[in-house]
Structure 1
């Protein structure tokens, strides 16, 4: 008798006890049957252990482990994703949710495309209160994208609607998961390395998950800018550039994209929340990402207090891109 492929849903968490019942519940209440759920608590200081004790009693398919010390995003995910022996592995952050047919739909897609290393879908964006904020989707018509096509596209940025995805476990093991990779850009780095290793991917414009976006009043996220910039530099220098050079591709496009990104991120350097030392560190990282005469001029204008204008322009461009994607996808459905 033919058995369905096994699937492990891996949920890393840190101090998000209030969201765990929804996240774990969405993982356990899938239409697909052959599922196990793993939760790795990165030494949370909130009510996570108590909440997980209750969830483990409610859902016997859940395995819960509490790390004795904080490993960070990469360390916790690396440990977690390496535990299951399932054929497919899903990474689901503990503040996000899966629609009931997420696993069933993406298993079917990966079964149809054996050259795909991972599958992903459009998502419903929600805020910290669960209110719907809009749909995140890609302006992409093809269901399957070849590895080299994805590798070229990845130069322009992270090509997923959100970091919720189903992976072939063999592909993750071949790439040693996230071991030794940069924090806060680990998902982008992973899809680049997947493509470099020859894995394509499959995508559906069906909304199959909810992705939570925070209003960060505490300014924690902006203060991660240094780690984000360091991670982006490593992706270009350690993943993308060597991949292009091995194939004999023109690397000028990489230089151009790095300079464009440096211009975008330069505005964040002059936010009032940064100390002078932090600002100087960010400026040096932006220059390392992509120095150019245009960047030097931009930094000069930012010293004159134009940071809010450039941040507003970047935010507006992102909103326009989303509108264009939504319009493009509606046309394809006609």
Structure 2
């Protein structure tokens, strides 16, 4: 009997003990039999070690390692994804969940399309209490997307429903994982580099995971806006621009998208959590990302206190896109 391909589910974590139990349980109870689960604790200061001690007693396929010092998102992920010696690797954040048939379904897809570097899927968005919110989908009709199409599409952003993906291990090894890559947008950067290396991706509209969106009371995520902006700059300059230039493609769209990104993210920089020096740094990063007369006008309007209006507009556009994607998905099912 032919042995099934081996799969590792890798869960990086930092101070999310309250979600670990459900996340690890979802990874360890897959319908697919040949699965091992790895958890890398990036020197958490909460009850993560105690929670993991209980889980390690329950699940024999579970491996737990606690970093002696905090490595950051990219560093911890690079260490973690480099540990398994399996054919496929799943990256799962410690506050997210997998449906029982996640691994079984995506392994079959990656076997069907050997030219795909990773597989992804529609997700159920949940809140911090585990209650269902909206469904996230990717607006595309084809199951397989080739490398060149993926590279062109990536100019407009990270083209997945959520950063819960199954990768071919050899592809991650070829690209040296997240080593020396930007923080906070490391998954987007990796998807660009995978496409540049000649690998496509495969997508299913099945809901195979739960992606958690929680109320950021202390604004910890917003406080990392400078990391996100620095990351976008590096993606455009170090990944996208060289990829387009090497193929002789028109790079005008890259500069257009940089300016668009800067405008989209400008309102966040005027949240009251930022002091004057922090806001000045963020504005400087916005201009480095994509300076334009439109950005300077937006910054002027934001300085007059109009940030809530632009924030509402952006979230309304995202909700509308979600509704349209749902309609497209239903039409596909009905046909």
TM-score (structure 1 length as normaliser): 0.99
- Cross-structure match for 1:184: 184
- Cross-structure match for 1:14: 14
Aligned positions of 1:160-175 closer than 5 A: 160-175=160-175
Report the CA distance between 1:125 and its aligned residue: 0.4
| Structure 1 segments (4+ residues) deviating >6 Å | none
- Cross-structure match for 1:273: 273
Does residue 91 in structure 1 map to residue 98 in structure 2?
A: no
Report the CA distance between 1:101 and its aligned residue: 0.3
Does residue 209 in structure 1 map to residue 226 in structure 2?
A: no
**SS of alignment partner, residue 163 of structure 2:** coil
Report the CA distance between 1:18 and its aligned residue: 1.6
Whole-Å Cα distance in 1 between the matches of residues 223 and 264 of structure 2? Answer: 16
Count how many residue pairs are aligned between Structure 1 and Structure 2: 334
**SS of alignment partner, residue 18 of structure 2:** coil
Does residue 256 in structure 1 map to residue 286 in structure 2?
A: no
Aligned positions of 1:101-180 closer than 5 A: 101-180=101-180
Whole-Å Cα distance in 2 between the matches of residues 304 and 26 of structure 1? Answer: 47
Whole-Å Cα distance in 2 between the matches of residues 276 and 106 of structure 1? Answer: 47
Report the CA distance between 1:31 and its aligned residue: 0.6
- Cross-structure match for 2:50: 50
Whole-Å Cα distance in 2 between the matches of residues 8 and 167 of structure 1? Answer: 10
Whole-Å Cα distance in 2 between the matches of residues 264 and 53 of structure 1? Answer: 43
**SS of alignment partner, residue 190 of structure 1:** helix
Report the CA distance between 1:51 and its aligned residue: 1.0
Q: Deviations over 1:123-148 (max 9, x none)?
A: 00001110101101111110000000
Report the CA distance between 1:333 and its aligned residue: 1.4
Whole-Å Cα distance in 1 between the matches of residues 235 and 140 of structure 2? Answer: 23
Whole-Å Cα distance in 2 between the matches of residues 24 and 265 of structure 1? Answer: 33
- Cross-structure match for 1:69: 69
- Cross-structure match for 2:296: 296
Whole-Å Cα distance in 2 between the matches of residues 296 and 54 of structure 1? Answer: 54
Does residue 314 in structure 1 map to residue 314 in structure 2?
A: yes
Report the CA distance between 1:179 and its aligned residue: 0.2
Whole-Å Cα distance in 1 between the matches of residues 44 and 271 of structure 2? Answer: 30
- Cross-structure match for 1:24: 24
- Cross-structure match for 2:323: 323
Whole-Å Cα distance in 1 between the matches of residues 315 and 130 of structure 2? Answer: 22
Report the CA distance between 1:297 and its aligned residue: 1.3
Question: Which sections of structure 2, spanning at least 5 residues, go unmatched?
Answer: none
Whole-Å Cα distance in 2 between the matches of residues 261 and 65 of structure 1? Answer: 37
**SS of alignment partner, residue 180 of structure 2:** coil
Report the CA distance between 1:42 and its aligned residue: 0.8
Whole-Å Cα distance in 2 between the matches of residues 129 and 301 of structure 1? Answer: 36
Report the CA distance between 1:50 and its aligned residue: 1.1
Report the CA distance between 1:174 and its aligned residue: 0.2
- Cross-structure match for 1:228: 228
Report the CA distance between 1:270 and its aligned residue: 1.5
